[in-house]
Structure 1
Amino acid sequence: MITLFMVKSFILAVALGTALYFDIRYCRIKNSVTYPAAVGGFLINFAEYGTPGLLFALKGWLIPVLALFVFYYINVMGAGDIKLFAAIGAIMGVSFVMYCFLFSVYIGGIIACGLLIRRKQFMYRMKMVCGYAKTVFLTGGLFPYGIKGDNNSKFIFTAAIVPGTIVNWVLLYLNF
């Protein structure tokens, strides 16, 4: 018997796999990946719970967009990453997507530190981050982080979103 949880998991897996492919191949996540996944989340939650399911999906989609916009504004997260989190939220809900974000940041931090150490840029980047934090603290304002056009600092965050979501899904599935 196919449960709606399995259908949600399938939609989630297809969205994550497709987003990872496009992010690795083209360094962007296309709207043709995130929007159908979000619509699928709205539809499956509406089918499962009716109007409350629609509100569940809407909150799951809207809260990541609003909460993560600041990361887009300061240039540390792409719009596609945020839309992917929004699609995850529309499918699985707010609490699921927020845990996905936390696991993804943790995994992404490990990956990024490894890459920086391998490229021998760890100390340089830590000085940049400290300088940025100091400027934000002293001025009280946010502004874009990094150097415009610096492609060496690009990070395919989907490489962290996918395992972060898988970890969260496994924990949910195993009822931890």
Structure 2
Amino acid sequence: MSNFMIALILIISVITDLRSRKILNIVTLPAILVALIYHTFTPGLDGFLFSGKGFLVGLGLLLIPFLMKGIGAGDVKLLAAIGAWKGAMFVLYTAVYAGIIGGLVAVVVLVKNKRLGFTLKNMLFSLMFLKGVKGSLQISDNGNNSISIPYAVPIALGALLTFLMEAFL
């Protein structure tokens, strides 16, 4: 059941993220709640701990990028929902694969838009001062220069790679 639920959640999230650049709470929050309930009633307390640990790992992996305004709250909740359904190790592998895929996509998009150097300078500033560049200090030369990608796509591809890894290893 958990594989079906993850597939459904990811398909809906990818579609809405591509169309409106939003991952809907009406998808992620019930998914988290149902996962916790499902895993509690199937194997009991061990299932609840499995689901809860996965939820916390999924939430924690994207919390700092979210706080630095580098990623949206929907992406954080989507990864937390994956963790609640599939556990800590699955969501950890998913996040690693999603990070690699998302990074590659971002580099391609930045090179295409001739923004790679500027973005690297912004990232260096953010890392040095642990401050997002969307706050009080705007480094961009004009207000409409932000480039972003719908991160549900790399998350879904990361989950797919993790499913394949589970199946063949």
Shorter-chain TM range is 0.7 to 0.9
Q: Which of 68, 83, 90 does residue 89 from structure 1 map onto? A: 83
Q: Which amino acid aligns with 1:102?
A: V
Matches within 5 A, 1:34-49: 34-49=28-43
Length-normalised TM-score, structure 1: 0.84
Q: What is the CA distance between 1:44 and its match in structure 2?
A: 3.1
Matches within 5 A, 1:106-117: 106-117=100-111
Matches within 5 A, 1:97-136: 97-134=91-128, 136=129
Runs (4+) of structure 1 exceeding 3 A deviation are: 145-151
SS of 2:42 mapped into structure 1: helix
Q: Which amino acid aligns with 1:74?
A: M
Length-normalised TM-score, structure 2: 0.88
C-alpha distance in 2 between matches for 1:34 and 1:117: 32
C-alpha distance in 1 between matches for 2:145 and 2:81: 27
Say whether the 8 Å CA contact 1:8–1:44 is kept in structure 2.
no
SS of 1:17 mapped into structure 2: helix
Q: What is the CA distance between 1:166 and its match in structure 2?
A: 0.3
Identity %: 28
Q: What is the CA distance between 1:151 and its match in structure 2?
A: 6.2
C-alpha distance in 1 between matches for 2:47 and 2:113: 47
Aligned length: 163
C-alpha distance in 2 between matches for 1:104 and 1:151: 24
The gaps in structure 1 that reach 5 residues or longer are 1-6, 137-141
Q: What is the CA distance between 1:58 and its match in structure 2?
A: 1.1
Q: Which amino acid aligns with 2:65?
A: F
Q: Which of 70, 74, 77 does residue 64 from structure 2 map onto? A: 70
Query: 1:151–1:78: structure 2 CA closer, same or farther, 3 Å change rule?
Result: farther
Map of 2:161 onto structure 1: 167
Say whether the 8 Å CA contact 1:73–1:143 is kept in structure 2.
no
Q: Is 1:144 aligned with 2:132?
A: yes
SS of 1:152 mapped into structure 2: coil
Query: 1:71–1:163: structure 2 CA closer, same or farther, 3 Å change rule?
Result: same
Instruction: Kindly report the root-mean-square deviation, in angstroms, between the aligned alpha carbons of the 2 structures.
Output: 1.8
C-alpha distance in 1 between matches for 2:121 and 2:147: 14
Say whether the 8 Å CA contact 2:35–2:84 is kept in structure 1.
yes
